[in-house]
Amino acid sequence: MAETERAQIYLLTPPDLDLEVFPGQLARVLDAHDIACLRLTLATQDEDRLSRAADQLREIAHARDVALVIDNHVGLVERLGLDGVHLTDGARSVRAARKALGPDAIVGAYCGASRHDGMSAGEAGADYVAFGPVGDTALGDGSRAEADLFAWWSEMIEVPVVAEGALDRDTALGLGETTDFYAVGEEIWSAEDPAAALGALLDGLV
């Protein structure tokens, strides 16, 4: 990433959300901050619930020229009028997703802390690769995507990179020159004012 560029915000929804409350919160965050992309990350596999959430969030996001992608559900992208898919299994599904969705859809891949998976995803046609977690979390196997991975990637690979998982201000500061996107989600949604929480997290960074 060129030194004159700044990392953008890649916003994640909570894994469970109240459709009576969340759309208003989301609208306030999108109005207060420049968001590059929104990702629907619901834990449910219920297609009716996913569809209802996607319909509401798509309207809010697209009214503000923000792309909306969904975790893993390649088959729902075109049906729900979404902009693409985020795959959580590294490089394994990228080629099939690209073939199914065509060249214009967004296809992203979460690759943990694996440089090899990231390179494979890029070669298979991913528009971006996400590495993480970048901070301390009880989730996963305890591994972290360290700063040197982002530094190497930014120097060697042209595919945009996302820093995702347990992001805090200190970590964000350390990655400011080497990541293209900060993925922010549960770090802000538990706050009383998520828009203000995002502002505090990223003040001076972007």
pLDDT tens figures, 74-99: 999 999 999 999 999 999 999 999 99
143-179: per-residue pLDDT in tens?
899 999 999 999 999 999 999 999 999 999 999 999 9
Between 103 and 140, name the one with better pLDDT. 103
Q: Is the pLDDT of residue 139 over 80?
A: no
Record: fold of 8-202:
TIM Barrel (3.20.20)
The whole-angstrom separation of Cα 158 and Cα 98 is 18
Closest by CA position to 154, among listed 129, 136, 123: 129
Show the CA angle centred on residue 8, arms to residues 5 and 66, nearest 5°.
Answer: 130
194: helix, coil or strand?
helix
Question: Could you read off the pLDDT of 7-65 as tens digits, one per residue?
Answer: 999 999 999 999 999 999 999 999 999 999 999 999 999 999 999 999 999 999 999 99
> If you ran DSSP here, which 8-state letter would residue 89 be given?
S
Neighbours of 201 (CB within 10 A): 19
Domain range list for the chain: 8-202
Pair of tokens at residue 88: 């959580």
Phi and psi based region of residue 162 (left: phi greater than 0; alpha: psi -120 to 50; beta: remaining): beta
